[in-house]
């Protein structure tokens, strides 16, 4: 069996494992093995095959890290914009709210905290953001 056959078999094996894990890192390895297989088909030496494989893995990992960071920054929660029922207000300006059948600690949005207290405590509140295990509330529904 030729050397490129081993590279392509490894690429297919890693591609199959990637389908089970869906992490994309095994996909990078699979692509790197395929690149090394192409280099072997073009009669490159084993050193060049290994070098191309390693460079593809490094480039792929750098790309995945950058891509994953952008996905986290752009991700938004399905909870944002949902209405909540305020159970009690505390003296420090925080509240206890009922959301999804459980009690949550909540804070008013910093901009709304400057408004008169009588306006802040009445009406329907919406989730503006989630920070840790606390909800940030606003009077305005954000979409």
* 61 and 93 housed in the same domain: no
* 58 and 96 housed in the same domain: no
- Average pLDDT value for residue range 107-124: 64
72 SS3 class: helix
* 15 and 40 housed in the same domain: yes
- Average pLDDT value for residue range 19-31: 92
Does residue 36 sit within a domain?
Answer: yes
Residue of 30, 36, 32 lying closest to 11 (CA atoms): 30
pLDDT of residue 121: 66
H or E element that contains 130: strand 125-131
* 114 and 65 housed in the same domain: no
- Average pLDDT value for residue range 94-115: 80
pLDDT of residue 118: 44
Strands 125-131 and 95-99: unpaired
C-alpha torsion angle, residues 100, 101, 107, 113 (rounded to 10): 80
Q: How many domains does the chain have?
A: 2
Beta bridge partners of 85: 98
pLDDT of residue 87: 84
pLDDT at 1 over 90: no
* 8-state DSSP, 93: S
Give the structural domain span for 46. Answer: 3-74
pLDDT of residue 48: 97
Give per-residue pLDDT as tens, 41-96: 999 999 999 999 999 999 999 999 998 887 755 456 788 888 888 888 888 878 88
pLDDT at 7 over 90: yes
- Tokens matching residue 25: 């890192």
- Average pLDDT value for residue range 7-27: 93
- Report d(CA 29, CA 57) in Å as an integer: 6
Angle between helix 3-21 and helix 25-41 axes, rounded to 10 deg: 170
């Amino acid at each position: 069996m030729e050397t490129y056959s081993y590279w392509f078999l490894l690429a297919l094996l890693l591609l199959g494992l990637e389908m089970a894990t869906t992490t994309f890192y095994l996909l990078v390895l699979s692509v790197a093995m395929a690149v090394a297989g192409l280099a072997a088909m073009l009669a490159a030496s084993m050193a060049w095959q290994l070098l191309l494989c390693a460079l593809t893995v490094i480039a792929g990992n750098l790309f995945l890290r950058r891509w994953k960071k952008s996905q986290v920054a752009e991700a938004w929660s399905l909870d944002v914009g949902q209405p909540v029922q305020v159970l009690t207000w505390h003296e420090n300006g925080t509240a206890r709210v009922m959301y999804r059948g459980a009690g949550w600690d909540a804070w008013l949005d910093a901009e709304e905290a400057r408004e008169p207290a009588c306006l802040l405590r009445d009406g329907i509140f919406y989730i503006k953001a989630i920070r840790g295990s606390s909800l940030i509330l606003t009077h305005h529904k954000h979409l």
